[in-house]
Amino acid sequence: MSVLIKGGRIITAADDYVADIYVEDETVTLIGESLDMSADKVIDASGKYVLPGLVDPHTHLDMPFGGTVTIDDVESGQTAAAFGGTTCHVDFIIQPKGSSFADAIADWRSKANGKQVIDMGYHMAVTDLEEGGTLEELASLPDEGITSYKLFMAYKGALMVDDETLFRTMEVASETGALVMVHAENGDVIDVLVKQALEAGNTDPIYHALTRPPEAEGEATNRAIQLAHLAGAPLYVVHVTCREAVAPIALARDNGWDVWGETCTQYFFNSLDDIAKPDFEGAKYVYSPPVRDKSNWEVLWNAVRSDALSAISTDHCAFLWDGQKTLGKDDFSKIPNGGPGLENRLHMIHQFGARAGRISLNRMVELLATNPAKLFGLYPRKGTVAVGSDADLVVFDPEKKLTITAANQHSKTDYNLYEGTEVTGSPEVVLLRGNVLVEGDELVASPGIGQYVARARFGKELRQTSAVA
Ligand code: URP
Ligand code: ZN
Ligand code: ZN
Per-residue pLDDT of 195-208, as tens digits, reads 999 999 999 999 99
Instruction: For residue 430, give every residue at least 6 positions away whose Cβ sits within 8 Å of its Cβ, in sequence order, or none.
Output: 53, 82, 83, 85, 87, 393, 394, 395, 436, 437, 438
Which residues pair with residue 395 across a beta bridge?
Answer: 50, 429
* Nearest residue to 262 via CA among 289, 293, 282, 285: 289
What is the whole-number distance in angstroms between the Cα of residue 316 and the centre of ligand 3? 7
Res. 449 pLDDT band, cuts 50 70 90: very high
- Using DSSP, state whether 329 is helix, strand or coil: coil
State the pLDDT at residue 127.
98
Closest approach atom of ligand 1 to CA 154: 8
State the pLDDT at residue 461.
85
Res. 331 pLDDT band, cuts 50 70 90: very high
Residue nearest to atom 6 of ligand 1 (CA): 338
Q: Kindly state the percentage of the chain with pLDDT values over 90.
A: 97
Residue 25, pLDDT > 50, answer yes
Residue nearest to atom 2 of ligand 1 (CA): 338
> What's the average model confidence in pLDDT over 32-49?
97
State the pLDDT at residue 468.
44
State the pLDDT at residue 459.
86
Closest approach atom of ligand 1 to CA 58: 9
Per-residue pLDDT of 160-199, as tens digits, reads 999 999 999 999 999 999 999 999 999 999 999 999 999 9
d(CA 86, CA 468): 33
What beta strand segments (E) does 66-137 contain?
A: 68-69, 86-94, 119-125
Per-residue pLDDT of 90-130, as tens digits, reads 999 999 999 999 999 999 999 999 999 999 999 999 999 99
Instruction: Give the mutation target among 287, 332, 417 for probing the ligand 1 site: most ligand atoms within 8 A of CB.
Output: 287
Instruction: Give the mutation target among 266, 317, 417 for probing the ligand 1 site: most ligand atoms within 8 A of CB.
Output: 317
What is the whole-number distance in angstroms between the Cα of residue 313 and the centre of ligand 2? 12
- Length of the chain, in residues: 469
Closest approach atom of ligand 1 to CA 287: 1
What is the whole-number distance in angstroms between the Cα of residue 37 and the centre of ligand 1? 47
State the pLDDT at residue 444.
97
Per-residue pLDDT of 217-271, as tens digits, reads 999 999 999 999 999 999 999 999 999 999 999 999 999 999 999 999 999 999 9
Residue nearest to atom 4 of ligand 1 (CA): 338
State the pLDDT at residue 452.
98
Per-residue pLDDT of 337-384, as tens digits, reads 999 999 999 999 999 999 999 999 999 999 999 999 999 999 999 999
Residue nearest to atom 5 of ligand 1 (CA): 338
Count of beta carbons in the 10 Å neighbourhood of residue 193: 17
What is the whole-number distance in angstroms between the Cα of residue 318 and the centre of ligand 2? 13
Neighbours of ion ligand 3 (CB under 5 A): 315
Closest approach atom of ligand 1 to CA 183: 8
What is the whole-number distance in angstroms between the Cα of residue 289 and the centre of ligand 3? 9
Residue nearest to atom 8 of ligand 1 (CA): 288
> What's the average model confidence in pLDDT over 134-152?
98
Which residues contact ligand 1 via a Cβ below 6 A?
60, 183, 287-288, 315, 317, 337-338
What is the rounded average pLDDT for all residues in the chain? 97
Ligand nearest to the CA of 59: 3
Spatial contact of 201 and 166, defined as CB atoms under 8 Å apart: no
State the pLDDT at residue 425.
98
Q: Kindly state the percentage of the chain with pLDDT values over 70.
A: 99
Residue 467, pLDDT > 50, answer no
Spatial contact of 117 and 445, defined as CB atoms under 8 Å apart: yes
What is the whole-number distance in angstroms between the Cα of residue 262 and the centre of ligand 3? 11
